[in-house]
Chains A and B, each alone.
Chain A
């Protein structure tokens, strides 16, 4: 089945069928990473540029490994090595990269809409690896893949997301993806970090519920996802201090005990141990945090295949 998109800019562009296609493919790619020789020739001769203009460990490494396991040539440009630090505009950087004929450009950028900006000006497929507070679609897809593996069908599944919703692109992408797949989402945040109109991201409408208290959400959900405070994007004064935040919105062992016995705990990383999640919970038996990372590679392989392959036959 052909994949009907040239770029992956956000979950908002995808249909449930698109998502299922990506997740199914990711499941088949998962196995490659368990082989002794973790490489297939699928994208041989293709060029993938990872343009990461905002710090990233997990996502950049994950994209690089995914591309290499598919035999693509990968080039990594990060904030300090890219010409943007010399004052070159994003668009000029993108045009220059385009002149070297890459097949895929993976972009991480601190400004919302950055991926849209370059996608409108270059021929290569653009994958949004996180743009400002807007979207982080590959994170949402790996979250969906992880949830599907543990919970099967996502229809009517209840997923809690707690933390700095306002500044989180992960929260936005997850909310769109989860509701699109039929899940019900419960958002918890201090009012200072709950963005106005967040419920309008829900597709179809009505599958999202907003809460002031984490405690009222815990007994409801099949999946509890904790988010870190996006301090690099926050203005000062959104909460009194970390100690109080952690007590009010952190997931410690006592709170985790109020979750349903089969509930899983997720976190997109990086963890702030002792703030939004207690080490005992992050490392405990319900935590699937590292599985998310493993799925990250498989999901990104699937996307590179779908968007970077073009004429490649499986």
Chain B
């Protein structure tokens, strides 16, 4: 596999014993106090007590009592901006941000310059990821050449090169016939098709959600149905073709309803939701803070409630950040002219923990939607701590209170409306391929203690 290139090149990290944490591994149905042993880039053992004798020499010890130990988070939707927009983000900075947020795998969207619509770009992204990536990077290939929505990209070759899904994200596939053909190809290749669902004829010119808030702010609105109209069209095509259809950043009540019914009807459909669509409403745009300008736009309170309902009943499969970095010059302009998107990798966890606090979902449920669920949807390694799984682990301090601070963000960009928010919950240790890639626990001692 492409992401193993790095491992064969680099030195093998020392074994790691994570002792005494609350291990939550939804894929294995595990939630309890246990030790986790990592060695050789794999999970070796998870058990209530791993005795000193079982620990290989030179292992490092992580004292995790009071902390949660879970599989490394997987984000199906990020923008790393490389190649072409490195002033916003690059693979090095984006994966550092991912590690800081507890993510060990990120799937990067193809809307780069040039776009990832052919093998050469996929290979470039994978090579750069192997060179400078801090966590695993799995590219998503374009559906159409140049993301123009006119002709199919070289989907079969993209798959050979290593893409894990197809999407024209940032833009919808407006042409229904092209979408049908793309679904047929995706079906043949066995990869999911990810739609940025937005009917451009309905959303045209809109910079926020249509509704009272947009009317108050005097900003052009995109009606919620611009999304659901597209979802409903695609579900018909999904029924026709049998392709695995994944709705990116679902944001409206009607879209959730449509996906729920399609699932009931047995269609191979899934969807993701972002932390920001669950946290903020369109009222936030009335401040004209361009950090609140995202696509799809922040929606109404009723939509947010429907998203939570969709999470609770399982309609919404997983979380994804849609981490979309933009430089100040893209954002410190009039709201109408500002770029769409906000960063999200470093704030996802505490925002999602609010859902646990509100009892929308349980903690293991939340973790499943960041680990095993996304892994299954895109067929990715990881997402579990079962022995033999990749040594991708995140340790969480659920009690840690911290303030989102623009100066300590790892991403190259600062475009988040959550700066200044006091939040609770943080990834204090991120391990990817057995290597510590983010560490707020201080120097790790050797385990077991050296004999006298």
- Residue ranges of A at the interface with B (Cβ–Cβ < 8 Å): 12, 89-91, 109-114, 116-117, 131-135, 169, 172, 195-198, 200-201, 235
Write the chain B residue with the least CB distance to A134: B218
Q: Are A200 and B212 in contact (CB under 8 A)?
A: yes
Q: Are A196 and B215 in contact (CB under 8 A)?
A: yes
Q: Are B211 and A196 in contact (CB under 8 A)?
A: yes
Complex Cα spacing A198 to B288, Å: 18
Q: Are A90 and B218 in contact (CB under 8 A)?
A: no
Write the chain A residue with the least CB distance to B336: A111
Q: Are A90 and B333 in contact (CB under 8 A)?
A: yes
A-B contact pairs, 30 of them (CB 8 A): A89-B329, A89-B332, A90-B333, A91-B332, A91-B333, A111-B336, A112-B219, A112-B335, A113-B219, A113-B288, A113-B334, A113-B335, A116-B287, A132-B219, A134-B219, A169-B218, A172-B215, A172-B216, A195-B215, A196-B221, A197-B211, A197-B212, A197-B213, A197-B214, A197-B215, A198-B212, A198-B215, A200-B212, A200-B215, A200-B216
Contacts of B333 in A (CB 8 A): 89-91, 117
Complex Cα spacing A135 to B286, Å: 13
Contact of B210 among A113, A172, A196, A201 (CB under 8 A): A196
Q: Are B215 and A117 in contact (CB under 8 A)?
A: no
Tell me if B337 is interfacial: C-beta within 8 Å of chain A.
yes
Tell me if B48 is interfacial: C-beta within 8 Å of chain A.
no
With contacts A113-B217, A113-B288, A133-B219 taken as known, whether A196 is within 8 angstroms of B212 at the C-beta atoms is: yes
Complex Cα spacing A222 to B228, Å: 44
Tell me if B205 is interfacial: C-beta within 8 Å of chain A.
yes
Tell me if B156 is interfacial: C-beta within 8 Å of chain A.
no
A51: min CB distance to chain B, Å: 13
Tell me if B204 is interfacial: C-beta within 8 Å of chain A.
yes
Write the chain B residue with the least CB distance to A195: B215
Complex Cα spacing A132 to B217, Å: 10
With contacts A90-B333, A116-B288 taken as known, whether A134 is within 8 angstroms of B217 at the C-beta atoms is: yes
With contacts A196-B210, A235-B205 taken as known, whether A111 is within 8 angstroms of B337 at the C-beta atoms is: yes
Contact of B218 among A91, A132, A200 (CB under 8 A): A132
Q: Are A133 and B204 in contact (CB under 8 A)?
A: no
Complex Cα spacing A172 to B219, Å: 12
Q: Are B336 and A112 in contact (CB under 8 A)?
A: yes
Complex Cα spacing A263 to B72, Å: 71
Complex Cα spacing A27 to B263, Å: 67
With contacts A196-B221, A201-B216, A235-B204 taken as known, whether A111 is within 8 angstroms of B210 at the C-beta atoms is: no
